[in-house]
Amino acid sequence: MPALAGRLNDIAVSASVVMGTRARALAAEGKKVISLAAGEPDFPTPAHAIEAAHQAALSGDTKYPPTDGTPALKKAVQKKFRRDNNLDYALDEIIVANGGKQIIMDALLASCDPGDEVLIPAPYWVSYADMAKLATATPTFVSCPQNNGFKLRAEDLDAAITPKTKWLFLNFPNNPTGAACSRAEMEAIAAVMLKHPHVWILTDDMYEHLVYDGEFCTIAAVEPRLKDRVLTVNGASKTYAMTGWRVGFAGGPKALIKAMANMQGQLTSGISTISQAAAVAALEGPQDLIAERAAIYRERRDLVVSMLNEAPGITCHKPEGAFYVYPNIAACLGKTSKGGRRIGNDTDFALALLEEKLVATVQGTAYGMSPYLRISYATDTESLREACARIQEFCRELA
């Protein structure tokens, strides 16, 4: 068999995918698994978005789309940036892609050369580092410890930037910790970036509408002098529960967006016209459901944080946003589960919890900080209550 590409040697399968696959396998055996591993809203896509997709298909809107997005969706995105973020992007400063992941990959492939560094605050979304590697760049990390609320400190950022730094990635509210920056904290980050004009800034704002304590802010709006080197990334997946529709979008400098569109034209071309029609309806239709669903997520957060803090050996920080918590399990290490599994690290804990109590989580190792778990509370309240009770039982049985 011919050899596979060497670039895959250092690329891991996403830990959340691995845990999700194992959870589905156990469920297929008839076991009552509760998965808290996936970062996916449990709410339905808004009915008016589904209807818009249906009508688009019926009307023949099924041909090849423009590579960078349909005019209708780009105009809807333009309005969204003005409405929600006080950002003004021209239509040729906007691109639409197959989810936020492709936006990020387009940007990296269009800008990175071997030797460039991508600076990633840790903990971080599992794909950032591997995407940088695929783009021939080197991921570097700046620690955001729990004693700072998992937030990026300006002085740590400043110390981590080198002449080789090509990008800084920001993701607040954060996956996996749920941490969200205040305006003052974002201003401090922006002040550092003004000192380093050779660095692009990518802000992944997918969870912007899920902030429960404080208000959301994005760096190009906080510091307009940075706007000409900021890529503001967003999408329909989290806000409108449209993960499967695969609609991401971004605003940024014209030259960068043009280069990204060129890259996308070789990789995938434009995204599904049907999905784009649905996204237009979501962005331009009633927005009431956003606050309604955020209120439900907030209730779930409070429940999960409270119950996890009652589990022996677990301490759970209360995050400001997103739909994740990132509990510390350090006091559980070195013990043995009721099923005889030695808990040497957070991966051992997550696997034992899944096998013995049928609760799927993801180990913090995958996100660049141990010993933690990422727990998603984007599921119904009763399932969350039962899952947390099982976690409490698992911890009580450790010896």
Q: State whether 274 and 302 are in the same domain.
A: no
pLDDT of amino acid 39: 87
At which residue do the structure tokens 């691995």 appear?
18
Which residues lie closer than 8 Å to 300 by C-beta, 6 or more apart? 323, 377, 381, 384
Q: State whether 344 and 380 are in the same domain.
A: yes
User: What's the rounded Cα separation, in Å, for the pair 397 and 374?
Assistant: 21
For 51, the 3-state DSSP assignment is helix
- The answer to whether 355 and 368 are in contact (CB under 8 A) is no
pLDDT of amino acid 6: 87
φ, ψ dihedrals at 165, nearest 5°? -65, 120
Has residue 1 been placed in a domain? no
Q: State whether 177 and 297 are in the same domain.
A: no
Task: Give how far Cα 164 sits from Cα of 139, 168, 198, 199, Å.
Answer: 11, 11, 9, 9
Q: Is 171 left (phi over 0), alpha (psi -120 to 50) or beta?
A: beta
Q: List the CATH number of the domain containing 13.
A: 3.90.1150.10
Q: State whether 253 and 366 are in the same domain.
A: no
Nearest alpha-carbon partner for 35 in 393, 385, 376: 376
Q: State whether 91 and 104 are in the same domain.
A: yes
- What torsion, rounded to 10 degrees, do the Cα atoms 283, 284, 289, 295 define? 60
Q: State whether 307 and 279 are in the same domain.
A: no
pLDDT of amino acid 21: 84
Has residue 54 been placed in a domain? no
pLDDT of amino acid 294: 97
H helices present in the chain, as ranges: 15-28, 47-58, 71-85, 99-111, 127-134, 154-160, 183-194, 219-222, 254-267, 273-284, 288-308, 346-357, 381-396
User: What's the rounded Cα separation, in Å, for the pair 208 and 50?
Assistant: 23
Task: Give how far Cα 131 sits from Cα of 107, 109, 167, 220, 244, Å.
Answer: 10, 9, 12, 23, 21
User: What's the rounded Cα separation, in Å, for the pair 226 and 317?
Assistant: 32
User: What's the rounded Cα separation, in Å, for the pair 315 and 305?
Assistant: 9
User: What's the rounded Cα separation, in Å, for the pair 337 and 308?
Assistant: 17
Nearest alpha-carbon partner for 321 in 215, 203, 199: 215
pLDDT of amino acid 230: 98
Has residue 186 been placed in a domain? yes
The structural domain count of the chain equals 2
Domain limit, last residue, from 284, 311, 338:
284
Task: Find the domain containing 118 and state its range.
Answer: 61-284
Q: State whether 155 and 175 are in the same domain.
A: yes
Q: State whether 67 and 89 are in the same domain.
A: yes
Has residue 56 been placed in a domain? no
Total residues belonging to the chain = 399
Has residue 53 been placed in a domain? no
Q: Which residues of the chain have pLDDT under 70?
A: none
Looking at residue 362, its amino acid is V
φ, ψ dihedrals at 170, nearest 5°? -120, 140
Q: State whether 131 and 146 are in the same domain.
A: yes
Has residue 52 been placed in a domain? no
Q: List the CATH number of the domain containing 148.
A: 3.40.640.10
Nearest alpha-carbon partner for 144 in 162, 166, 118, 121: 121
φ, ψ dihedrals at 134, nearest 5°? -60, -30
Q: State whether 257 and 345 are in the same domain.
A: no
Has residue 55 been placed in a domain? no
Structure token pair of residue 327: 């509990």
Domain limit, last residue, from 284, 308, 336:
284
Domain limit, last residue, from 284, 302, 335:
284
Q: State whether 32 and 74 are in the same domain.
A: no
Has residue 142 been placed in a domain? yes
Q: State whether 134 and 214 are in the same domain.
A: yes
User: What's the rounded Cα separation, in Å, for the pair 292 and 286?
Assistant: 12
pLDDT of amino acid 291: 97
